Structure 1
Amino acid sequence: MSRSTVSEEPLRQHGRLRTGDVALAQQVVADVYEPHTLEPVDRSALDARLNAVQNGGLTLGYLTYGSEVRITLPPSDRWYHINIALAGHSRITREDGERGMTAGREGAAILLPHRAQTIDWATDTAQFALKIPRADIEGHLAALARTPITGPIEFDLVMNLRSSAGRGLLRCIEFVRAEWDEDGILAQNPGSRRQLESMILTNLLIAASGPHQQLLRQTDNARPDALRRALDYIHEHAQAIPTLADLTEAAGVSARTLQLQFLHNLDCTPSHYLRDVRLRAAREELLHPSSDSVTVADVAAAWGFYNHGRFSSLYRSMYGESPSETLRGTRDA
C-alpha cells in the first residue's frame, strides 16, 4: 500500500505513533494492543506508524513498520488478534509449530490468546490489526450456536480473504475505516457501533476455519414458536436494529436453525427481513412526517440507514421512487 499521499493511509487522523525509535514503537503498540517484543531484522531505518480507533470493545488499527521486523507475542489469555494483510507479506509461527503466511488482501493471521506466536514482517508489510476481547468473540459464538463455549476458540492460523466470507469481513472492516476517516455517523453515534461490532464478529466466525465451524453448522430441535418469537422481536425492536445474536436469544434456537426457518418460511434471511421492516417504517415516516422540518436524512438515520446512497438505492428498489420523491409528494399533497 503506497503512502504517497495523506488520504491513502487509513485512519491517519487517529494517529498514535510515528517514529523510527524501536523502543518507543514497542511501547506504544503494546499500550494499544498488548505486551510483545519488537526486533528489527535488517539495518534499514524503522518507520513505524500506528493509527487506531476503538469501536465498541474492538480496537482497529493500521500498522506498518517500514522495515523488516520480528514480533514475539507471549500468551495473554485476554485477547484475540486478527492481522489483516493489506500489502506485503508476513510469516507467522505458533508455539505448537503451526506455520502460515499472509499476503496483501489475500490472507489474515489469527493470533490466539493462549498461544505464544512469532510474526515476521517484510519491509513493505502494512496491516489492519484488530484486537478482540475473549469474552466478546467467545460470547458471540455461544449466542449464535446456542451452546456454552468453555475455552478458547481454536481458529486455524490463516484466514482466506479471497473467499466470499473473507471478502465480507474485509467489507465490514473497510466500512468501519471509512466511517472514522470521513467522520461519519459511526464515529459520532456510539449506539450504531454495536451493530458494526456484531457484524464484524459474525463475519469473522464465518470466514475463519477451525473446529468452531461445526458449531455454526449444527441445527437443533427447533421450538415450534421460534420463528414467531424472532419475528415479534424484530417488529418490537426494529429501530434498535437487533443483531443475529439478539434474534437467536429471543427465538431460543441456533443461528443456523433460525436462518433455515426464515429461508423455508419467508424465502429470506433474518437480516433481509429486518432490513425490509426498517424500510417500510422509514416509508411510513416519509408519508406521514411528524413536522415540516423532517428530512430524508433524519428518517434514514432514525431507522439505522447510515449510508444515504445505499438507503436511496434500497428504497427505490422496493418502492419505485426515491425517498426524497416520497417526501416531496407528501408535502405537495
Structure 2
Amino acid sequence: MPISRSTASAEPLQQYGRLRTSDVSLAQHVVAEVYEPHTLRPLNGSRLDARLNAVQNGGLTLGYLAYGTEVRIDLPPSDRWYHVNVTLNGTSRVARERGEKGTTTGMSSAAILLPHRAQTIDWAADTEQFALRIPRADIEEHLAGLAGRPISAPIEFDLVMNLETPAGRGLLRCIEFVRAEWDEGGILAQNAVSRRQLESMILTNLLMAASGPHQRLLRQAPDTTTPDALRRALDYIHEHVRTLPTLTDLTEAAGVSARTLQLQFLKNLNRTPSQYLREVRLRAAREDLLHPRSATLTVTDVAVALGFYNLGRFSSMYRSVYGESPSETLRRAKGQ
C-alpha cells in the first residue's frame, strides 16, 4: 500500500495499533508514552477520534497518527528527541517559540520539531500524519559522521521541510519501505542488521532533505587537517573499543606523548581522549541494547563488557544522552 489517504479498514501499521479512542485524556496519555509529554486540546468541540499505530525501528519510532477533529498540541522543550511530522492528508500549522511559523500539506511537506524549543501544532480535522521520533544523540552523531566533525549543539533545522525535492522524495520512500516491511511481515521486522541499515538511510535522507545551517556542514569536505597522530588514535579507539583501550594504548598507537595527544584532542574535538572514548563506549552500548545478540542479554552484561562498572552511573549517563534508561531500550528491542 503506498503512502496515501487511509481508510478505516486499511490504516498504515494497523496491526500495531496503540490507541483508538474519543477520550482526550487517554489519547494524550498514550501518545505521550509513545512520543513525548504534551498537552492535547480539541478546538471546535467535535468528538475526538484519535488513532495511533506505531512500531520501533532501532532507535526510531514511526507511527501513524490521526485525531479526527481539529486539535492543538503544545509540546514543551525536553532536550531529548527530534520529531518529524510527515503530513499524509490535510494540513497542520506549526509555530516555534521566537516567532517561527509554517504550514504543512499532505504529501508535500513535513514539520521538524526541535528538542530544545517549545512548539505548538494545530491539526485540521482531516489531518493524518506519519510521526517519526528520533533520539537527539542518534541524529547528531549521524550528522557528525557525515560532516566529519563533532556536533556539540542541537541541530537548528528549519521548521518546515519540503518533501517534493529529490531528498524529500527519498525520505518518503524510506518511510514507505519501513511501513511496508512491518505491515507485510518483511525481513526488516525480523532482522536487526536490516533495521540498522534502514535507520541510517532514513537519517541521511532527513539530513539531506531538511533545510537549515547544517547544510553548510554537509557541503563542506571533511576536515583533512586532522593531525596524523590524532587520526591514528581515533582509528585505534574505534577498532578496539570493546577491548577497553587505555591512554597508554592510545599514545602508543598515536606515537606521541600523552600531553601532546591530550592537546590535539582538545584542540580538534573539544574533549579529552577519555571523554571521547567514553562517548564511543556509550554508543557501542546502545548498539548492543538496540540489537541484543541473545534473548538472555542483560543491561549488566552490556555495561560491564564495555567498562561501565558502576551501573547507576551508566544508567544516568545513558538516560541523559538517549532520553530513556538502558533497560527501556533493551525491553523495547526484545519486544517486551
**Fold-level similarity (TM above 0.5):** yes
1:4 partner letter: T
SS at match of 1:90: strand
2:155 to 153, 168, 173: 153
Match of 1:123 in 2: 125
Match of 2:192 in 1: 190
1:22-54 deviation digits (Å, cap 9, x = unpaired) = 000000000000100000001211000000000
Matched, 1:218 2:217: no
Distance 1:139-1:31 versus aligned 2 partners, 3 A rule: same
Amino acid at match of 1:57: G
Letter of the structure 2 residue corresponding to residue 138 of structure 1: E
Distance 1:138 1:210 in 2: 14
Cα distance per residue 1:169-199 (max 9 Å; x no partner): 0000000000000010000112210000000
Alignment of 1:83-102 (within 5 A): 83-102=85-104
Matching residue of 2:9:
6
Q: 1:115 to 1:183 in 2, by over 3 A?
A: same
Task: Tell me the C-alpha RMSD between the 2 structures.
Answer: 2.0
Instruction: Show structure 1 runs of 4+ deviating over 4 A.
Output: none
Residues 189/44 of structure 1: CA separation in 2 closer, same or farther (3 Å cut): same
Alignment of 1:68-79 (within 5 A): 68-79=70-81
What secondary structure sits across from 1:193 in the alignment?
Answer: helix
C-alpha displacement at 1:6, in angstroms? 1.9
Partner Cα separation in structure 2 for residue 100 and residue 115 of structure 1: 15
Q: Which amino acid aligns with 1:6?
A: S
The structure 2 residue matched to 1:106, chosen from 88, 105, 108, is 108
Q: Which residue of 2 aligns with 1:209?
A: 211
Match of 1:307 in 2: none
Give the residue type in structure 2 aligned to 1:26: Q
SS of match in other structure, 2:203 = helix
Q: CA deviation at 1:221?
A: 5.8
TM-score by length of 1: 0.66
| Matching residue's letter, 2:174 | C
Q: Secondary structure at the match of 1:46?
A: coil
Structure-1 residue corresponding to 2:291: none
Mapped to 1, the partners of 2:207 and 2:89 lie a distance apart of: 23
Q: Displacement of 1:19 after TM fit?
A: 0.2
1-side partners of 2:146 and 2:71: how far apart? 38
The CA distance in 1 between the partners of 2:119 and 2:143, in whole Å, is 23
Change (3 A) 1:103 1:52: same
**What is the aligned-residue identity percentage?**
74
Structure 2 distance, partners of 1:19, 1:5, is 14
Find the counterpart in structure 2 of residue 133 from structure 1. Answer: 135
Task: Describe how 1:1-333 pairs up with structure 2 within 5 A.
Answer: 2-7=5-10, 9-220=11-222
Distance change (3 Å), C-alpha of 1:103 and 1:134: same
Q: Deviations over 1:143-179 (max 9, x none)?
A: 1111110010000000000011100000000000000
Structure 2: 5+ residue stretches without partners: 226-336
**1:6 aligns to what SS in structure 2?**
coil
The superposition leaves residues 247-276 of structure 1 with CA deviations (integer Å, 9 ceiling, x where unpaired) of: xxxxxxxxxxxxxxxxxxxxxxxxxxxxxx
Unaligned runs of 5+ in 1: 224-333
What's the secondary structure of 1:4's corresponding residue?
coil
Q: 1:3 to 1:165 in 2, by over 3 A?
A: closer
CA distance change for structure 1 residues 141 and 187 in 2, over 3 Å: closer, same or farther? Answer: same
1:212 corresponds to which letter in structure 2?
A: H
* Partner deviation per Cα, 1:131-151 (whole Å, 9 max, x = no partner): 000000000000111111001
Distance 1:221 1:43 in 2: 56
Count of residue correspondences: 226
Partner amino acid, structure 1, of 2:32? A
| TM-score, normalization by structure 2 | 0.65
Provide the residue aligned with 1:286 in structure 2. Answer: none
Q: 1:202 to 1:179 in 2, by over 3 A?
A: same
Instruction: Tell me how far apart the structure 1 counterparts of residues 193 and 150 of structure 2 sit (CA, whole Å).
Output: 27
> In structure 1, what is the Cα distance between the partners aligned to 2:68 and 2:212?
32
In 2, distance between residues paired with 1:43 and 1:220?
54
Structure 2 letter corresponding to 1:204: L
Rate the CA distance shift 1:4–1:148 in 2: closer, same or farther, 3 A. closer
- Residues in 1 aligned to 2:222 and 2:82: alpha-carbon distance in whole angstroms: 28
